[in-house]
Amino acid sequence: MPTERSFADATEVVDRGDGTFGAHIPEGWDIVGNVDGGLLLAVVGRAVTTATGRPDPVTVTAHYLRPGRAGPAVVSTEVLKVGKRFSTARATLHARGSEVITALATVGELEEGVEVLHLDGGPPGLPPLEECELLVGGDGFPPAFMDRVEVRLHPEDTGFIRGAPSGVPQVRGWFRLRGGEPIDGIGLLLAVDAFPPTVFNASFPAAWTPTVELTAHLRARPAPGWLECAFRTRYVTGGFLEVDGEVWDATGALVAQSRQLALVPRG
Amino acid sequence: MPTERSFADATEVVDRGDGTFGAHIPEGWDIVGNVDGGLLLAVVGRAVTTATGRPDPVTVTAHYLRPGRAGPAVVSTEVLKVGKRFSTARATLHARGSEVITALATVGELEEGVEVLHLDGGPPGLPPLEECELLVGGDGFPPAFMDRVEVRLHPEDTGFIRGAPSGVPQVRGWFRLRGGEPIDGIGLLLAVDAFPPTVFNASFPAAWTPTVELTAHLRARPAPGWLECAFRTRYVTGGFLEVDGEVWDATGALVAQSRQLALVPRG
């Protein structure tokens, strides 16, 4: 039974039997009034895994059309292909008569005991939890959403909170659901969009960066425990920036990669 | 008037006025019988830009459902949102009664005179064209497709051709359309999937890697001339690998980023 305000509760979907799923996005998962993009992605992910009967998102792409608000929502799904190992579906989350996000997903079953053939990189090597700064939600920054999760930022990446950005557009930190609620593949879809914008640490003035598109690739189901996350921006050009994310589990396994394209705020 | 077998010809679409577009994929754009994934993406990109009346792909994601073959095809499109700057649409390319690829795209107008706010990286610094190896198509490797484009590989990345992979899963090289046919944003969708698989240079035995999903982000329309491209794989785990691509134009501007998720061939 999902706890009130748990992640499981916030992403619960009710199968209406016609390819559509009812959802209800609770209060408190927002960033200055707009529901966190990762939570919207997770709701869509839950609908698609239910619709296809396959347990894990493998690759999910969402395009963000309008800000999401707390309240009732409907996810309409359409399964495009059922293969031996994977199924592919599209899904759109509607609320208050409009499309909020639209997604394309391939789902399957992630392997246990993940075989590693090549690694050129690793976990970000965060300092111990107690040396990393817990973001506590409020009316401004950090936003209310931060109380639904537990994000502890690398001390080198917290300068922006006190008006002294590091100059390096990255944010690294520990992540778990509030109180250590277990995280599955659906939870990883939240993790990849749960950190402050990388450009808060940039050397140029930056505001919230609206997501145009976000893609998450899942490699494995995470082992229990905190996740180590790193988000980095390399190119801010042409009015756009990318945010590349990596999520590593407590055993040191890569469990997700993400990339989003966001808009550079104007004026 | 597109030349026979030109890229413009291969990606030409005929608007049927009902959101569907007729296409005809010519012979010769295949890799061992399967049409190059970048060409399929480009055909879809052309249909979506035509359907929305916006000139440039900004972010396009495709999921690859079945191998494409030369011959007639139909792209069905559905515009989901028309905004002030961008439109979002989904599109599916059908051929011989089945879905081949399905895509989600946000399109708009890329800025001219691209403003650069932050760069942490740059063009791969390729040796001059004449020192890079032109891939010439044939029945095996390089495949027939390589005669439709001009790819000149960095000499450090050509070892796999002679059975001596570099051990670093990357391929870098110059790219242009055959004979220097002009490249616009649609052409960039081809460029991001026109190189041999990165894992051909890996330290483990590798074969062709089927694409599950590919996302391209376009930052600017390319200036005339050769493009400098770099594709790299960092993580081969859990049965999957990512390929990250960057495309730089002749003025040194980043014009596209790409990432694909591909399957590690089994057996």
Determine whether the interchain pair B203/A118 forms a contact, defined as Cβ–Cβ distance below 8 Å: yes
DSSP classification of residue A216: E
Which residue's structure tokens are 């694409």? B211
List, as ranges, residues 242-261 from B with C-beta within 8 Å of A.
Answer: 242, 253-254, 257, 259, 261
Residue A93 Cα, gap to closest chain B Cα (Å): 12
Type of residue numbered A189 = L
pLDDT band, residue B3 (cuts 50/70/90)? low
What gap in Å lies between CA A50 and CA A20, rounded to an integer?
A: 10
Containing A89, the helix (H) or strand (E) segment is strand A87-95
Is the separation of the CB atoms in A82 and A53 below 8 Å? no
Is pLDDT at B108 greater than 90 in this prediction? Answer: yes
- CA quadruple A123, A128, A132, A137: dihedral, nearest 10: 90
Each residue's pLDDT, cut to its tens digit, for chain A (267 residues) gives 445 579 999 999 999 999 999 999 999 999 888 999 999 999 999 999 999 999 999 999 999 999 999 999 999 999 999 999 999 999 999 999 999 999 999 999 997 667 888 889 999 999 999 999 999 987 777 888 899 999 999 999 999 999 999 999 999 999 999 999 999 999 999 999 999 999 999 988 878 889 999 999 999 999 999 999 999 999 999 999 999 999 999 999 999 999 999 999 765
For the record, the structure tokens of A120 come out as 């050129």
Is the separation of the CB atoms in A144 and A138 below 8 Å? yes
Predicted local distance difference test score (pLDDT) of residue A250: 96
Q: Does A237 touch chain B (CB under 8 A)?
A: yes
Is the separation of the CB atoms in A75 and A113 below 8 Å? no
pLDDT band, residue B75 (cuts 50/70/90)? very high
CA B173 to chain centre: 14
Would you say how long chain A is, in residues? 267
Is pLDDT at B92 greater than 70 in this prediction? Answer: yes
pLDDT digits (tens, 9 = 90+) for B130-155: 999 999 987 777 888 899 999 999 99
What gap in Å lies between CA A182 and CA A188, rounded to an integer?
A: 11
For the record, the structure tokens of B189 come out as 């969708």
CB pairs under 8 A between A and B: 178
Looking only at the bridges linking them, the beta strands covering A56-64 and B149-153 are unpaired
**For the domain with range A7-110+126-263, which CATH number is right: 3.40.50.2300, 2.40.160.210, 3.20.20.80, 1.10.510.10?**
2.40.160.210
Report the percentage of chain B scoring pLDDT > 90.
85
Determine whether the interchain pair B236/A116 forms a contact, defined as Cβ–Cβ distance below 8 Å: yes
Type of residue numbered B71 = G
Cα distances (angstroms) measured from residue A20 to each of A13, A45, A76: 9, 13, 4
Q: Which residues make beta-bridge pairs with B67?
A: none
- Residue numbers in B near A210 (CB within 8 A): none
Residue A165 Cα, gap to closest chain B Cα (Å): 14
List, as ranges, residues 53-92 from B with C-beta within 8 Å of A.
Answer: 58-59, 61, 63, 65-66, 80-81, 86, 88, 90, 92
Is the separation of the CB atoms in B183 and B176 below 8 Å? yes
Residues B156-173 have a mean pLDDT of 96
Predicted local distance difference test score (pLDDT) of residue A112: 65
Predicted local distance difference test score (pLDDT) of residue B1: 43
What gap in Å lies between CA A247 and CA A175, rounded to an integer?
A: 9
pLDDT digits (tens, 9 = 90+) for B97-106: 999 999 999 9
List, as ranges, residues 153-172 from A with C-beta within 8 Å of B.
Answer: 169
Type of residue numbered A54 = R
Predicted local distance difference test score (pLDDT) of residue B113: 61
H helices of chain B, in order, are 7-10, 37-52, 185-191
Containing B254, the helix (H) or strand (E) segment is strand B254-263
Type of residue numbered B124 = P
Predicted local distance difference test score (pLDDT) of residue A113: 61
What gap in Å lies between CA A186 and CA B191, rounded to an integer?
A: 33
- Each domain of chain B, given as residue ranges in start order, spans 7-109+128-263
CA neighbor of A228 nearest in space, from A174, A166, A149: A174
The predicted model scores a pTM of 0.96
Q: Does A217 touch chain B (CB under 8 A)?
A: yes
CA A21 to chain centre: 20
Q: What angle do CA A71, A58, A82 make, to 5 degrees?
A: 95
Predicted local distance difference test score (pLDDT) of residue A265: 75
DSSP classification of residue A178: G
Is pLDDT at B184 greater than 60 in this prediction? Answer: yes
What gap in Å lies between CA A56 and CA B65, rounded to an integer?
A: 18
- Residue numbers in A near B169 (CB within 8 A): 118, 120
- Residue numbers in A near B215 (CB within 8 A): 61, 213, 215, 259
DSSP classification of residue A204: S
At residue A46, what are phi and psi to the nearest 5 degrees? Answer: -70, -40
- Give me the DSSP letters along A132-153: SEEP--BSSSSBGGGGTEEEEE
CA neighbor of A219 nearest in space, from B167, B65, B263, B202: B263
Is pLDDT at B267 greater than 80 in this prediction? Answer: no
Predicted local distance difference test score (pLDDT) of residue B4: 58
Predicted local distance difference test score (pLDDT) of residue A1: 43
Predicted local distance difference test score (pLDDT) of residue A142: 84
Report the percentage of chain B scoring pLDDT > 70.
97
Would you say how long chain B is, in residues? 267
> What are the b/e assignments for B215-234, b being 16+ CB within 10 Å?
bbbbbbbbeeebbbbbbbbb
CA neighbor of B191 nearest in space, from B159, B228, B139: B228
Type of residue numbered B209 = T
What gap in Å lies between CA B204 and CA B219, rounded to an integer?
A: 34
Determine whether the interchain pair B118/A61 forms a contact, defined as Cβ–Cβ distance below 8 Å: no
Is pLDDT at B111 greater than 70 in this prediction? Answer: yes
Predicted local distance difference test score (pLDDT) of residue A70: 95
Is pLDDT at B15 greater than 50 in this prediction? Answer: yes
Q: Which residues make beta-bridge pairs with B22?
A: B14, B74
CA neighbor of A73 nearest in space, from A51, A102, A52: A102
Burial class (CB in 10 A: 0-12, 13-18, 19+), A185: buried
Specify the CATH number of the domain B7-109+128-263.
Answer: 2.40.160.210
